[in-house]
Amino acid sequence: MLKKTMRLIMTVAILCTVLLPHSASAFESYETTTFQFDGTRIKTPHAYETKQVLGALELQVDSLNQPNDVFVDEKNNVYIADTGNSRVLCYDESFKLIKIIEEFETQDGNDYLTEPRGVFVTQKGEIYIADTGNERIVHLGADYKLIRIIGKPDTNLLQESFVFSPTSVTVDDYGRIFVVASNVIYGLIELDESTGEFKSFFGAKRVVYNPIDYLWRSFMTEAMIQRVDSNVPTEYNNVVVDKEGFVYVTSSAYDVNGLLADIQARNNAGRNTPIRKLNQNGDDILVRKGYFPPVGYIPVNDKDPEKKLSNMIDITLGEHGIYSVLDSKMNRIFTYSQEGDLLYEFSGFSAQNGCSHIPMSICYKGNDILLLDSGLNRLTVFKQTEYGSLISSALEMYQKSKYDESTVYWQQILTENANFDIAYDGIGRSMLNKNENREAMKYFQLSNNRKLYSRAFKEYRNELANRYLLLIVVVLAAIIAAIVLLHRWIKARNYSDKYKSKRGGLLNQILYAFHLLFHPFDGYWDAKHEKRGSLKAANIVLAAATITIILQKIMTAYLFNQNYFEPINVFSTALGVLGPVFLFAIANWCFTSLMDGSGKFKDIYVVTTYSLFPIVLLRLPLIPLSYLFILDEGVYITAINSFSLIWVVFLIFCGILVVHEFTFGKNVGICILSIVGMAIIIFIILLLLTTFQYIISFINTIILEIVLR
């Protein structure tokens, strides 16, 4: 009976699995991922899933041989540059074969294509083919008849021995033909559409030589300089033009170390970038407002980041400012928004459906994405999932200034992917454009987008300032008056007879720190010889400085608190203040005892701890003030923090000079030796701890052996 029951349950489970509807994306052979604000790579729902995999049989041809380019025209007709078979395949939107372009008629008879690597079709249906093997561009009409052949550009800027090997071609609506050619390091070749004549090189990166480069080149012959220049990687490897005439290019020629530095620093200046958007003047205007620059894979958490850097070989433009880039190193497709946010990345290296061996080209076909694989000789069609459609719709509504509708889509996205930081950004941007600044701040904080949070906070601050202007003026006046009165009170106590007495009390000894701030030489002399200040007061100052540092890490405003989302280890933070103080006092005492220093250990300790008072005086008020500043004003917080440290170092230097009665030069040497001594003490402590751990481990091993035997 039990066996029959189990069989029935298993049968029902199988039928449910087969018959009930389910998402095909769950069975994809690849993962869809994105990167969070901290560089963590996370899985997301699939934005695209495999719709079709088309080989030679499905494409109604005898074979595909190392295809290099796929293009979709305005009517969704598909064109494939079948390079190894020296032909271009033409299909309608349903992938029904229309035409195979292998030859065309000329005045001298039939001519043939040889290893074409690029194809482009205009709105009129005219076809431009990068006929690489024949070192030319073939221009055909919509009827597939020859219009003209464009050969090697006629310009003195190229050497006589230059071989024209076009690999990609595109035409804009302003009468310009852009060509990517092998062994060209000056950017794109720009030709006139009407005449086919050379106009200029377009979008070349500016080469900046450092003084060493100039020195070496001054000793080189012309032949050596040409040889060096010829070894520079090709400027661009693919090109596409949008409807507004902006030119998008991909490049494999960039400074690897510079790109890694830009990623680590989140530098969006675009000096080292594999993706560029060029305006009419050839200037890069690509928007880079994401957490990281749009460079593909983000290797900030990898041990060998250089190996993981993407190699971008093709780019295609979708709707609503979206663009996708093909990475030939990881065989992944990276999709970005108009703002430069990475929306998702998918596909991978495999022979399974949805992946590729040698990806060569991608292209949008409506909302579908076509991926051409030269290694497996096939074309993969990806269709957009409901999740991907929600992202596209959210971006579309935002561009149309329909912020409420955009917010609805982003919220639906968050129900499927609660870790999608860009969705929080999207809601925040919509709120910001509706002047709901306080709400926008909440969402920007959830995505940890400090730049947009600062922008929203600035608007919110202006809103509050206009609303409570009179109250703000009164509060500021009261604060200034309180500071003035406090200063007068402290000054009065500093110079009273009671204060000058040795029996001035603990409060006076603590307040003596104010006198030391501006009179370090006299102050430290009196502290030593007239017993002003005390060990107890010094401990209180040290405790106050330690508490200030802890509070600064815990309570500083979100904009200026890099540890805002992380728990603070109070013990390690306190040790970071107390440790250097005691280490410096010990090291200084050790060296000054050998070099006739007149200060005792107590004097050194008191000097060091009293010198920490600028941290309390300057940094403690910065905690509430940080809630009033925007990101651009953070330079003031940085300056005050830095100044407090400089002030502390200055006071310690002056104090050591006074208590030991050293000359200036000798004091400099003692301070340097003290720092070296701190390093030696730390090394000895670590050595002892390591030795102790080995001893404990050895004892545990012996005990274990005895027990087991």
Q: How much is the pLDDT for 11?
A: 46
Within a 10 A sphere around the Cβ of 22, how many other Cβ atoms?
11
For the four alpha carbons of 404, 406, 410 and 413, in that order, the dihedral sign comes to positive
Give the pLDDT confidence of 111-128 residue by residue, as tens digits: 999 999 999 999 999 999
- Is 78 within 8 Å of 54 (Cβ atoms)? no
Higher-scoring residue by pLDDT: 81, 183: 81
Q: How much is the pLDDT for 33?
A: 95
Of the given ranges (80-89, 527-536, 617-626), which has the lowest mean pLDDT?
527-536
Kind plus residue range of the DSSP H or E element containing 97: strand 97-101
> Which string of DSSP letters, residue by residue, matches 348-391?
-BSSSTT-BSSEEEEEEETTEEEEEETTTTEEEEEEE-HHHHHH
**CA–CA distance, 172 with 203 (Å, rounded to integer):** 15
pLDDT band at 476 (very low <50, low <70, confident <90, very high): confident
Walk me through the domains of the chain, giving residue ranges and CATH numbers: 45-384 (2.120.10.30), 405-467 (no CATH), 501-692 (no CATH)
Within a 10 A sphere around the Cβ of 106, how many other Cβ atoms?
10
Give the pLDDT confidence of 380-434 residue by residue, as tens digits: 999 999 999 999 999 999 999 999 999 999 999 999 999 999 999 999 999 999 9
Answer whether residue 1 shows pLDDT above 70.
Answer: no
Of 279, 306, 309, 315, nearest in space to 297 by CA: 309
**CA–CA distance, 655 with 526 (Å, rounded to integer):** 11
Give the pLDDT confidence of 493-536 residue by residue, as tens digits: 654 444 444 445 788 788 888 888 888 888 888 777 777 778 88
Per cent of the chain over pLDDT 70 is 90
Question: Within a 13 Å sphere around the CA of 339, how many CA atoms are in the beta-carbon half?
Answer: 16
CA-angle at 298, arms to 295 and 301, nearest 5° = 160
661 sits in the region (left: phi over 0; alpha: psi -120 to 50; else beta) called left
Q: How much is the pLDDT for 94?
A: 95
Answer whether residue 458 shows pLDDT above 90.
Answer: yes
Answer whether residue 234 shows pLDDT above 60.
Answer: no
Mean pLDDT score of the chain: 86
Query: What SS3 class is residue 312?
Result: strand
**CA–CA distance, 68 with 49 (Å, rounded to integer):** 23
Of 190, 207, 208, 211, nearest in space to 199 by CA: 190
Give the pLDDT confidence of 331-371 residue by residue, as tens digits: 999 999 999 999 999 999 999 999 999 999 999 999 999 99
**CA–CA distance, 351 with 56 (Å, rounded to integer):** 16
Q: Which residues have C-beta within 8 Å of that of residue 15, sequence separation ≥ 6?
A: none
Of the given ranges (147-151, 157-161, 197-201, 438-442), which has the lowest mean pLDDT?
157-161
Name the amino acid, one letter, at 363: C
- Is 227 within 8 Å of 158 (Cβ atoms)? no
**CA–CA distance, 460 with 599 (Å, rounded to integer):** 55
Give the pLDDT confidence of 35-72 residue by residue, as tens digits: 988 888 999 999 999 999 999 999 999 999 999 999 99
Give the pLDDT confidence of 2-43 residue by residue, as tens digits: 344 445 444 444 444 334 333 334 468 899 999 988 888 999
Answer whether residue 626 shows pLDDT above 50.
Answer: yes
**CA–CA distance, 700 with 695 (Å, rounded to integer):** 9
pLDDT band at 224 (very low <50, low <70, confident <90, very high): low
Strand order, beta sheet including 118-121:
118-121, 127-131, 136-140, 146-150
Average pLDDT over every residue of 475-495: 75
**CA–CA distance, 246 with 202 (Å, rounded to integer):** 12
Answer whether residue 205 shows pLDDT above 80.
Answer: no
> Which string of DSSP letters, residue by residue, matches 634-699?
HHHHHHHHHHHHHHHHHHHHHHHHHHHT--HHHHHHHHHHHHHHHHHHHHHHHHHHHHHHHHHHHH
Answer whether residue 129 shows pLDDT above 50.
Answer: yes
Q: How much is the pLDDT for 12?
A: 45
Which two tokens mark 244? Answer: 């507004």
Within a 10 A sphere around the Cβ of 653, how many other Cβ atoms?
18
Q: How much is the pLDDT for 493?
A: 60
For the four alpha carbons of 541, 547, 550 and 552, in that order, the dihedral sign comes to negative
**CA–CA distance, 380 with 365 (Å, rounded to integer):** 12
Query: Pseudo-torsion of CA 5, 8, 14, 20, nearest 10°?
Result: -110
**CA–CA distance, 190 with 178 (Å, rounded to integer):** 5
Q: How much is the pLDDT for 155?
A: 87
Q: How much is the pLDDT for 567?
A: 83
Average pLDDT over every residue of 152-174: 90
- Is 630 within 8 Å of 458 (Cβ atoms)? yes
Name the amino acid, one letter, at 196: G
Which two tokens mark 466? Answer: 């206009």
Of 546, 550, 545, 520, nearest in space to 533 by CA: 520
Q: How much is the pLDDT for 504?
A: 56
Q: How much is the pLDDT for 531?
A: 73
**CA–CA distance, 122 with 140 (Å, rounded to integer):** 11
CA-angle at 411, arms to 407 and 415, nearest 5° = 170
Average pLDDT over every residue of 124-142: 95
Strand order, beta sheet including 368-373:
48-54, 378-384, 368-373, 359-365
Answer whether residue 300 shows pLDDT above 90.
Answer: no
Answer whether residue 492 shows pLDDT above 80.
Answer: no
Please give the DSSP secondary-structure letter assigned to residue 631. Answer: G
**CA–CA distance, 598 with 72 (Å, rounded to integer):** 86
Higher-scoring residue by pLDDT: 397, 183: 397
